Every structure is written in structure tokens, then in C-alpha cells.
A and B are shown apart, each in its own frame.
Chain A
Amino acid sequence: MAKHETPLLDQLESGPWPSFVSDLKQEAESRAKNEKNMEYQIPVDAVDDLLGVLELSYKHGRTHWKHGGIVGVFGYGGGVIGRYCDQPEMFPGVAHFHTMRVNQPAGKFYTTEYLNNLCDLWEFRGSGITNMHGSTGDIILIGTETRQLEEVFYELTHTYNQDLGGSGSNLRTPADCIGQARCEYACYDTQAICHELTQEYQDELHRPAFPYKFKFKFDGCPNCCVASIARSDMSYIGTWRDEIRIDAEAVKGYVGGEIPSNAGAHSGRDWGPFDIQKEVIDLCPTGCMIYENDELKINNKECTRCMHCINVMPRALRIGNDRGCSILVGAKAPILDGAQMGSLLVPFIKVEEPYDEIKEVIENVWDWWMEEGKNRERLGELIKRQGFQKLLEMTNIKAVPQHVQEPRSNPYIFWREDEVEGGWERDVVEYRKHHQR
């Protein structure tokens, strides 16, 4: 028997998709049964009370959570987000219900044993509810009391070799795609650089360093599986400088129907025979491909690495061999200003250990933002306020055509007077001799 009636939440379970409400009810029941005979360190009915407070919020149309205060464990200035219920008498199980962010391993590789242990730890010292993974990429452990924070941290660091992630005005936990471990599209080792920068910038990750949050994300290719271009202040997207490799025989295999397109991803329905013209050539955003006389040709200079052709015919087309990444800056979600996608700062850079060139770009950007950024101003907003040209100056990066989306649409690159022969001054009298007013 549920502790609280939840008719509004029950309705959410009636849809076609798996519901978090069902998950919560399952967890509430499991805690009540306690088949593992655990000595729960926070109230056993915490999940029941969570369902209750959520139902009340739906009924009232407003939240019953307060947040703030606690930042982390001793020595840390991030990783814990304080949460308190504003109806503690009604829902004592969630009166204090803090969130812990745990730095996920690069590429999110786990053993089953590790996940079992982590869940057992959180059943024991927390609510048992996890979010794998939060939008930051972290393992999110939802709901525990203040006195459990140090205990959980000790276990995480000493038994599971795991650290807390970032929150507040810190560097947030760097996140990456699965990369070269499993994906043939990856143009660089996303896990290696994600791990390296996580280690290099431990101080920024664990203690507030900036005017606001700062996020790195690493995508191995322009498919952008971690959506770095939309979600991170500094986005690293794998790319190549040379040509898409074409296997002419495999192209014929696709055209002849021997190889399923999109690696068979759309095989649940009969879409008819594969039409290379309609499904690949006509969909190329730059029109840089042609298929004639049974031959596929690509004008690589025009290619913008949209990945569509490679996704459709992965056995016939492969990423180039001269690989690296592009660095984009300034993406953000709409909190203060509107949402922004990243702007291209470095068109191509090799991604090689010890990543000194990349670290130089990062630190130049940080120095500028720390100096000039207003309180709670994201990097993207500073770029908008002071101009992209200023960013180029501060990072010692020369303006290049790739910085301009198209002629005259984002003309943020201006000449300075000392760069123009003759400067801005002119002799008007001399000019008037040859030109009437």
C-alpha cells in the first residue's frame, strides 16, 4: 500500500513510454521489503515521500523544494547540491534530500560488479535513486542527508576509486563520447583527452574558479553524440583535413542492395530499394557529391563534414586519415540570455598528447573570461557582448575565413587602423579636387 495517494503521477504511467513514476514505485516497494536486510541510513520511506511531494507539486502547480547552501565535502567546493523540502512535516523522508554528482569514467565504461556496488552503497547511505547519467554526464545520486555526504565520499574515493564531479561556478565534469573504443568514426581519442583534462584541471573542477559554470565536452566526430556543439562552453569535435576515403566496390554494394544502408538501422520497415541519388547525393548540404557512370565523386573542398553520406554508407565511405578536432566556443542553454550554439574558434588542431596547444587555448580563454566576464555570465554571452574579434585577440588566433559563416552575415572581423595602408585619415581638399560634392 502506497504511503501517499498519487493519482496525477499514476496518470503518467499510462503513456506508451517507460515511466520514472513506475521506477520510483518499484524502488519504494523494494526498500519497504528490504530483502537484502540493509540497515538503511536515511528513512526507509524516502522514495514514498518523494512521490508524495511530487504529487503535491503537480497539484499546486509549484515546487516544494528549496535549494542551496551545501557545496561539497570537506576541501571541495562542488559536487553536492543542497536540496530541502519545504513541507518537512508532511514528507519527513525527504526533508533533507541532497544530490551528489559523481565524475563518470571517460566513455562511461563500467563493470556490472561496479554498478552493483554503487547501487548498494546508495541504497545503504542514500535513497537508492540514481540518474545514469545527468545532463552534465555525471552519475547522479539523488537524495541523501547531510551527515551521509562525507561517508559516501569516503567510500567512493577509497573503495571505488571514484571522485565527485563539478557543480556551482566550477569547471563541470568533462564529458565525452565513446570514441575510438567502439566507434570507427572517432577522429581522435576522446577518452584520453577527457581524462587528461579532468586530471589537469582538478583544482578548477573541485573549487569555484569562474564567474559561472564552464563545460568541456568531447565529440569524436561531427555526429556529435554528446551534443557538445549545443551544450558546452568549449566543444571539441573530431574532424579531418584530407579526403573522405571511398571504397568504390562497397558503393556498388549499397547501390545494388547487397549492403543495407544506415548499417541496417531502418530495417524494421520496407523503405523500397536504396536510391543513392535521393538518399545521399540530393541530401548533401553543400552539393559536393556526384554519382555518375556508377562512380561516386566527392569535391572534398566543399564538404562541411555533415556526416550524412558516411552514416548512410559506412562501409563505402570513411573519415579521412589526417585527423584532429575543431574547437567551438560559447554554446549554452537559455538561462540568462537565449540558447546559443558554439562558434568556431579553431578550425583544425591535432589532438596529441600532451595536448599543450589545446591547453594554451583553454587557459587564454579562461584568463579573458575570468577578467572580463560578469557575474553569472557564460562565455557565449561575453563573446556576444565584447565581440568575437576580442576573443581572437585574447587567444592570439588569427581571423580566418572559417570564422565567417557566410560573407556579410556575421562581419565581426574588422581591420584596425594600423593594419590598413594609409590609415583612416584622408586629405579632404585633395579628394574634392577630383570628386564633386
Chain B
Amino acid sequence: MDIEESKKIIVEKLTKKSKTKSKFYLKDFYKMIPDEKPRAVKNLVNQMVKEEILEYWSSGSTTMIGLKGVGKQASAEDEA
């Protein structure tokens, strides 16, 4: 699948779910692009983080990924 098209699908799906959920496991992205190998999707997601379309959130043990600026932000973790 075309990279730009894949990126579009990811952004669309995350935007659609953003009212209920803002952070996703890497595995959730595999399902969004089922024709691609997990490793290719992983590389695409990390690329999208680099491009600042997506962002990471980590508990320290597990990493989650969401649309940049959506949901609770790392810089606001100290707020109640």
C-alpha cells in the first residue's frame, strides 16, 4: 500500500476514535493496515512520530501512541 495512503488511514481511524480513546498500542496499528507486515507498520508509525503527526506516551514499561496533541499530554502529567 502507498505510504501516504497508509498515513491517511491511520490519522482517519485515530481521529474517529479520539472521542473515546486517545492512546493506542502499537498492535492496534497493525489492524489498521492489515495488508502490511507488522515491521513495516512499526516503521511507518515511528516515522509518523518523527514527522510529529503522532506522539508516544510511556508508562516506563509499556509505550502507547496517539495523535499529537490529543488526550492527556506528557507535559501535563503532573496535573491532577
Give chain A's interface residues, CB within 8 Å of chain B: 66-72, 75, 77-78, 81-82, 84, 88, 95-96, 99, 146, 167-170, 203, 207-213, 335, 367, 370-371, 373-376
Contacts and interface: CB of A to CB of B under 8 A. Distances in A.
A370 B65 CA distance: 16
Contacts, number: 100
Interface in B34-54: 37-39, 42, 46, 49-50
Nearest to B45: A208
Given A71-B56, A208-B46, A208-B56, A213 B78 contact: no
A78 B26 contact: no
Nearest to B39: A370
Nearest to A376: B62
A211 B56 contact: no
Given A68-B57, A68-B58, A77-B49, A168 B63 contact: yes
A71 B50 contact: no
A168 B62 CA distance: 4
Contacts of B26: 169, 208-211
Contact of B75 (A146, A210, A211, A371): A146
Given A207-B46, A371-B38, A69 B61 contact: no
Contacts of A78: 58, 63
Contacts of B27: 211, 373-375
Contact of B63 (A66, A77, A95, A99): A77
A68 B60 contact: yes
The contact size tier of chain B is 20 to 34
A95 B56 CA distance: 22
Which of B25, B59, B60, B75 gathers the greatest number of chain A CB atoms within 10 Å? B60
Which of A71, A203, A374 gathers the greatest number of chain B CB atoms within 10 Å? A71
28 contacts: A66-B77, A68-B57, A69-B77, A70-B58, A70-B74, A70-B77, A71-B56, A71-B57, A71-B63, A75-B50, A77-B49, A77-B58, A82-B77, A146-B75, A168-B58, A168-B60, A168-B63, A169-B62, A203-B46, A207-B49, A208-B46, A208-B65, A209-B39, A211-B27, A335-B61, A367-B38, A370-B39, A371-B30
Given A67-B59, A81-B60, A208-B26, 18 more contacts: A66-B77, A67-B60, A68-B74, A68-B77, A69-B75, A77-B58, A78-B58, A82-B60, A168-B59, A168-B60, A168-B62, A209-B42, A211-B25, A211-B26, A212-B62, A367-B37, A367-B39, A371-B30
B63 A69 contact: no
B61 A168 contact: yes
How would you classify the secondary structure of chain B's contact residues: helix, strand, loop or mixed?
Answer: mixed
Interface of B: 25-27, 30, 37-39, 42, 46, 49-50, 56-63, 65, 72-75, 77-78
Contacts of A376: 25, 62
Contacts of A370: 38-39, 42
Contacts of B30: 371
Contacts of B59: 67-68, 168
Contacts of B38: 367, 370-371
Contacts of B39: 209, 367, 370
Contacts of A72: 56
A79 to B, nearest CB: 10
Nearest to A374: B27
Nearest to B65: A208
Nearest to B72: A69
A72 B57 CA distance: 10
Contact of B60 (A75, A96, A167): A167
Contacts of A82: 58, 60, 74, 77
- Nearest 6 A/B pairs, CB to CB: A69-B74, A168-B63, A69-B77, A81-B60, A208-B63, A370-B38
A335 B75 CA distance: 28
B78 A77 contact: no
Contacts of A75: 50
Contacts of A210: 26
